[in-house]
Amino acid sequence: MSAAGPADQAPPWSADHLRLHRQLRRQPGLLPAGAPLLLSVSGGQDSMAMTGLLADLRRLHGWSLTLWHGDHGWRPESGHQARELAAWAAGEGLPLVLERAHPPPPSEDQARQWRYQRLAKLAALRGMGHVVTGHTATDRAETVLINLARGSHRRGLASLRPSRPLHNDPGGSPQLVRPLLPFCRDDTARICHSRGLPVWLDSSNDDRRYGRNRLRAEVLPVLEALYPGAQRRMSLQAERLAQEDEQHQQLVALALGTLEQRGPMGPGLDRHRLGRLAEANQRALIQHWLRQQGPGELAATTLETLLGSLAPEQGPGQMNMASGWRLGWDRSTLHLIPPAIASP
């Protein structure tokens, strides 16, 4: 049980509180003052450290906090741990919503989708614009290494951004916010210990059949031993890449305006002007245009095939895309054909 009392008692203060407080003052849009926040709490050390810090900082930022815990039903002890977490939250005066997946999700990806769907539904029901998770610099460093090993594009190396829409409808989506990215896992362990926060261990985190667990147990410790502070530096590099990608996308959007056309077939790009650009710029413009128009990006090999087909010596043609979309081109224009038109 936590050594701290309910919210009406004076909260503790530490260098970690000051660090997070100053970060949120520098980025007021991340967790706006007075906002109702929905915290995704697994019961592990990262999410518990997040909960403790945000609960302590409420008096300065005016938030109201609601906790949410999703039980995947993967472990025999998960239901008991969920009830213990609920009892702790009640003792702290923090409202908590418990949900259990039926049936249990068959994979990590589907479990994540289930969590985010449930969080989005609850946020919409209660008028909450911010869903908060306890991702840290350690999580970000792991993701960078995994995506680097997979040969990811720069956007993959800029993963786990501080804030993004929770789902694909930016206008109607709450923001998914990760305020602990400047902290690493050693920090959250220290915060839980000093704050007297309970932590519920997930035995599946020790299963080295999962690639992320092996990387966490076998690779990151070696990197930290060789280059102390490696996790934080990798996380900062991911942040720099995210900022560069945002800058790049803004420039691409400006350039795209000189190529866009609209004809009887729908939105299009000037094929001649596109073809005069370097291939790297053609790739960036086409991918940005497709994300903007709706169908989403092409796979790298498909994009290379398209660029070859758009070479000046090539004639008209068509290409099928996902979900019934098509790309078509004549001598002058690359067209995007929506599913309703593409279908017979």
Asked if the model's pLDDT at residue 50 lies above 60, the reply is yes
Query: What's the whole-number mean pLDDT along residues 71-85?
Result: 92
Asked if the model's pLDDT at residue 266 lies above 80, the reply is no
CB contact at 8 A, 40 and 47: yes
Asked if the model's pLDDT at residue 3 lies above 70, the reply is no
Q: In the prediction, which pLDDT does 344 show?
A: 44
Query: What's the whole-number mean pLDDT along residues 260-285?
Result: 90
Q: How confident is the model at residue 341 (pLDDT cuts 50, 70, 90)?
A: low
Q: In the prediction, which pLDDT does 227 show?
A: 96
Q: In the prediction, which pLDDT does 46 show?
A: 97
Q: In the prediction, which pLDDT does 295 show?
A: 84
Please give the distance of CA 337 from its chain centroid, rounded to a whole number.
30
More confident residue, 206 or 105: 105
Q: In the prediction, which pLDDT does 170 show?
A: 60
The pTM score is 0.79
Angle at 343 between CA 340 and CA 344, to 5 degrees: 125
Please give the distance of CA 276 from its chain centroid, rounded to a whole number.
36
Q: In the prediction, which pLDDT does 223 show?
A: 95
Strand 175-177 relative to strand 163-165, pairing:
antiparallel
Query: What's the whole-number mean pLDDT along residues 241-262?
Result: 90
Asked if the model's pLDDT at residue 291 lies above 70, the reply is yes
Asked if the model's pLDDT at residue 7 lies above 60, the reply is no
For 84-129, what is each residue's pLDDT tens digit?
999 999 999 999 999 999 999 998 889 999 999 999 999 999 999 9
Q: What are phi and psi of 335, to 5 degrees?
A: -105, 145
Domain ranges for the chain, please list them: 15-243, 257-342
Q: In the prediction, which pLDDT does 167 show?
A: 83
Determine what percent of the chain is predicted with pLDDT higher than 90: 73
Q: How confident is the model at residue 204 (pLDDT cuts 50, 70, 90)?
A: confident
**Residue entry with tokens 């610099």:** 137
For 22-45, what is each residue's pLDDT tens digit?
999 999 999 999 999 999 999 999
CB burial readout 242-280, b (16+ within 10 A) else e? beebeeebeebeeebeebebeeebebbbebeebeeeeee
Q: In the prediction, which pLDDT does 182 show?
A: 94
Asked if the model's pLDDT at residue 264 lies above 50, the reply is yes
Angle at 80 between CA 75 and CA 83, to 5 degrees: 130
Query: What's the whole-number mean pLDDT along residues 15-19?
Result: 96
More confident residue, 57 or 206: 57
For 144-198, what is each residue's pLDDT tens digit?
999 888 887 777 788 889 999 998 766 678 999 999 999 999 999 999 999 999 9
Asked if the model's pLDDT at residue 263 lies above 80, the reply is no
CB contact at 8 A, 112 and 24: no
Asked if the model's pLDDT at residue 56 lies above 80, the reply is yes
Query: What's the whole-number mean pLDDT along residues 289-303?
Result: 88
Asked if the model's pLDDT at residue 210 lies above 90, the reply is no
For the chain, what is the total number of helices (H) and then of strands (E)?
14, 11
Report the mean per-residue pLDDT for the chain.
90
Asked if the model's pLDDT at residue 203 lies above 50, the reply is yes
Q: Which fold has domain 257-342?
A: 3.30.465
Superfamily of 15-243 according to CATH? HUPs (3.40.50.620)
